């Protein structure tokens, strides 16, 4: 009888994490971080530059190429109160790329810092962008959960919203670092292969990669493919409910090209994922494919993966190649070169991994959904990994060390 993930008690996924074990800054050289290697229940350690030694020739590795945006905007009211507006996801236009290209008005779903001081009225900020003066305004609309609809307007059509964030925004580093963003974070809190703007948190497993590690993988004929999942602030949301059934997973936007899906099929529907965001995207692809196998005429609105959808599967589940092939048929039918959709998937003990055969990941917060994801991958053996890391001086969380997990 399989475990019902809805009734998992999050208290079983707690461990002591002293503040001094949380890496406040990255190492001077990214690929010199420690690497914990977990293989078939055995734990050893190495340095990250040795990662290619553990990846067999001819494998497929998949990376998340999202880029962190400078999503925090600060406004000062005439009263002197400082209001922070933290852009979470675009509403108008809802497409990230289109939103960043706008030159007059955009709307975003935002978290507001110091909300009690912003009862009403429009916030204004004068600034110089590309040598041109402009006034940016922020107006509050409806409340959606813990976030608000915010309309941004500005009075210079030569300037895009991307330009404004670049000049005026601040990079959002994780709240648990308990420090202000520094200029160095603009470089160190991005992966070397980041391209597609949209995340409010970095896919941190990728922070260890350097061009020399990537070149060493290519030298072994390891296929390197990219996809995009824009990491939302919900990734830091602790599980507050006693059972995880009470935790609502955040929705994240994903984009995967036809060529990446073809490459996955060529590798028998299996891949090594770099980071939990790549894991969530790859596993979501499987469940979207299953939807399309059942309903070939499914609309765009029916494709996003719901939180508990993977646990509603029948016994005779399709293979990963069958599910991925259904995605290609869908792209062909609609004349599309990439799949654009979203996922709310929760991966917890009781989940059957379909595509991911190994993963590179950092060390995650106690009682987090990411720890549940790791536990599901190593068949509940997460304490072996975390006890070793705590006993052997590994650094934790976003700027910390990494692990290679091979179940």
Do 59 and 75 lie in one domain? The reply is no
What is the Cα–Cα distance from 7 to 392, expressed in whole angstroms?
Answer: 33
Do 82 and 155 lie in one domain? The reply is yes
Residue 81 in domain? yes
Do 283 and 346 lie in one domain? The reply is yes
Do 274 and 387 lie in one domain? The reply is yes
| Structural domain boundaries enclosing 118 | 71-170
Structural domains counted in the chain: 2
Do 141 and 121 lie in one domain? The reply is yes
Whether 264 contacts 28, CB under 8 Å: no
Tokens of 259: 């060529």
pTM: 0.94
Do 283 and 224 lie in one domain? The reply is yes
In the chain, which stretches have pLDDT less than 70?
1-3, 236
Q: What is the pLDDT of residue 238?
A: 78
Do 216 and 98 lie in one domain? The reply is no
Phi-psi region of 10 (alpha: psi -120 to 50; beta: other; left: phi over 0): alpha
What is the Cα–Cα distance from 27 to 367, expressed in whole angstroms?
Answer: 26
Whether 279 contacts 204, CB under 8 Å: no
Residue 180 in domain? no
Do 224 and 371 lie in one domain? The reply is yes
Q: What is the pLDDT of residue 13?
A: 96
Q: What is the pLDDT of residue 4?
A: 80
What is the Cα–Cα distance from 63 to 377, expressed in whole angstroms?
Answer: 18
Q: Three-state SS for 326?
A: helix
Q: Three-state SS for 136?
A: strand
Do 38 and 56 lie in one domain? The reply is yes
- In the listed set 109, 139, 170, which residue is the last one of a domain according to the structure? 170
Residue 181 in domain? no
pLDDT tens figures, 2-59: 668 899 999 999 999 999 999 999 999 999 999 999 999 999 999 999 999 999 999 9
Residue 278 in domain? yes
Tell me whether the omega of the peptide bond preceding residue 93 falls within 30 degrees of 0, making it cis: yes
Residue 176 in domain? no
Q: What is the pLDDT of residue 16?
A: 96
Residue 312 CA: distances (Å) to CA of 2, 5, 103: 12, 11, 44
Residue 178 in domain? no
């Amino acid at each position: 009888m399989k475990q019902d993930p809805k009734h998992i008690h999050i208290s079983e996924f707690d461990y002591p994490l002293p503040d001094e074990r949380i890496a406040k800054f990255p190492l001077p050289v990214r690929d010199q971080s420690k690497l914990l290697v977990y293989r078939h229940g055995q734990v050893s350690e190495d340095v990250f530059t040795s990662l290619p030694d553990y990846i067999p020739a001819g494998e497929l590795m998949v990376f998340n190429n999202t880029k962190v945006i400078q999503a925090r905007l600060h406004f000062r009211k005439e009263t002197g109160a400082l209001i922070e507006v933290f852009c979470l996801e675009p509403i108008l236009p809802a497409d990230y790329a289109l939103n960043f290209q706008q030159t007059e008005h955009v709307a975003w779903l935002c978290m507001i810092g110091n909300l009690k001081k912003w009862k009403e009225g429009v916030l204004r900020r004068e600034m110089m962008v590309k040598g041109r003066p402009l006034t940016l305004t922020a107006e509050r609309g409806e409340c959606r959960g813990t976030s608000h609809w915010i309309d941004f307007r500005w009075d210079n059509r030569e300037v895009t919203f991307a330009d404004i964030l670049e000049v005026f925004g601040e990079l959002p580093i994780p709240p648990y670092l308990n420090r202000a963003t520094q200029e160095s974070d603009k470089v160190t809190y991005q992966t070397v292969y980041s391209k597609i703007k949209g995340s409010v948190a970095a896919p941190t497993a990728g922070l260890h990669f350097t061009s020399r590690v990537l070149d060493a993988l290519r030298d072994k004929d390891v296929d390197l493919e990219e996809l995009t999942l824009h990491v939302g602030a919900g990734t830091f949301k602790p599980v507050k409910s006693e059972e995880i059934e009470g935790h609502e997973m955040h929705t994240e936007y994903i984009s995967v090209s036809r060529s990446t899906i073809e490459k996955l099929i060529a590798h028998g529907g299996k891949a090594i994922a770099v980071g939990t965001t790549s894991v969530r995207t790859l596993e979501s692809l499987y469940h979207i494919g299953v939807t399309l196998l059942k309903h070939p005429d499914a609309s765009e609105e029916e494709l996003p993966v719901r939180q508990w959808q993977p646990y509603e599967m029948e016994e005779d589940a399709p293979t990963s190649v069958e599910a991925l092939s259904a995605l290609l048929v869908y792209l062909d039918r609609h004349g599309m070169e990439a799949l654009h959709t979203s996922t709310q998937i929760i991966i917890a003990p009781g989940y059957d991994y379909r595509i991911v055969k190994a993963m590179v990941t950092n060390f995650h917060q106690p009682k987090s959904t990411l720890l549940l994801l790791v536990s599901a991958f190593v068949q509940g053996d997460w304490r072996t990994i975390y006890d070793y890391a705590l006993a052997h001086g590994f650094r934790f969380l976003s700027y910390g060390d990494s692990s290679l997990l091979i179940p």
